[in-house]
Amino acid sequence: MLNLERLRTLDALARHGSVSGAAAGLHVTTSAVSQQMTKLEREVGQQLLAKNGRGVRLTDAGRLLADHAARILSQVELAQSDLEQQRGKAVGELRVAAFPTAMRGLLPAALSSLRARHPGLSVAAHEREPEQAVRGVVRGDLDLAVVLDWYNKPLPLPDGLLKAPVLDDPADVAMPAAHPMADRPEVDLEDFAEDEWITWAEGEFCHEWLMFTLRAKGFEPRIAHRAEEHHTQLALVAAGLGVCVAPRLGRDPMPTGVRTVPVRQRVRRHVYVVWRADADRRPSIRAAVEALRVAGAGLG
């Protein structure tokens, strides 16, 4: 009989294309992936992996079994959904991820509501950036992910995922209190063409959005500092080291010496929750989505 965890390892290899990628996706060591694949090859009596330079590739038998593995894992998900639906209660375990400001500003209220309304449901929350969280949902490492995109730059989603809106999160420009624009009721992004900017890490979705948006305003921003956390960015602003875009979700408390001013042409993030289509019938998924949407509405 084929071992489900070994099939999950093969599926991860097929998805990621490397042992290291599969290990990262499954949160195990590369040696653990290799051991699982050795055991799976012994079970099926065929070679599933072949050397390819310094890496590996799936053999014909490996690709054939990987296709079956994807369908088997999907059927397991459907079976779990049907069993949970038959019970009619949100019970069991739920793995949820959210980006940092949602983890701070949205999840506490949603998870508190879930615990009160569904005491048989155990929720484990993880802080992850949107692209990482989406990959986790696709792989099956996560059941739900709270993710974001920007009003002018959508986040690509793979096939097989469903999503529901949670809230629209306005963003302002944060600047030192002594900045010439600090007392204005509204500003334009191009007003800060000569300022130094504080942004996210190179390659991050939000950094790419900022560069795309500011360049569309007709100027090349001068990037002075990079910080992944919004509160770290705001601390740099408070020290007079530049300006940044500051979404409102999870922003408080604001550091002393920072002013935030709305943007005339509204800048906003779309916050939504995603899950696998084959898990849509699970009462726990539906309960969590509803709790997130209620919590989001309470922030509006």
**Could you report the per-residue pLDDT of 15-35, keeping only the tens digit for each?**
888 898 888 777 788 998 999
Categorize the per-residue pLDDT at 85 as very low, low, confident or very high, splitting at 50, 70 and 90. low
Band of residue 53 on the pLDDT scale cut at 50, 70, 90: confident
The arithmetic mean of pLDDT across residues 29-50, rounded, is 91
Question: Within a 13 Å sphere around the CA of 227, how many CA atoms are in the beta-carbon half?
Answer: 19
- Give the pLDDT of residue 84: 65
**What percent of the chain lies above the pLDDT cut of 70?**
97
pLDDT at 86 over 60: no
- The residues near 144 (Cβ < 8 Å, ≥ 6 apart) are 94, 95, 96, 97, 137, 273, 274, 275, 285, 288, 289
Identify the band that residue 12 occupies on the pLDDT scale cut at 50, 70 and 90: confident
CB of 106 closer than 8 Å to CB of 296: yes
Say yes or no to pLDDT of 139 above 80: no
How far, in Å, CA of 23 to CA of 34, rounded?
A: 9
Q: Per-residue pLDDT for 68 more than 80?
A: yes
Residue 22 CB-density burial (10 A; 0-12 exposed, 13-18 middle, 19+ buried)? buried
- Across the chain, mean pLDDT equals 91
pLDDT, average across residues 190-211: 95
In the prediction, which pLDDT does 269 show?
97
Residue-level pLDDT at 213: 97
pLDDT at 5: 87
pLDDT of residue 72: 87
83 pLDDT higher than 80: no
pLDDT grade, residue 88 (50/70/90)? low
The two structure tokens encoding residue 119 = 């005491």
List of residues 6+ apart from 276 with CB closer than 8 A: 77, 137, 138, 140, 143, 160, 161, 162
- CA torsion through residues 38, 41, 42, 46, sign: negative
For residue range 1-11, list pLDDT tens digits in order: 788 889 989 98
pLDDT of residue 258: 98
pLDDT tens digits along 236-260: 999 999 999 999 999 999 999 999 9
Q: What is the pLDDT of residue 23?
A: 86
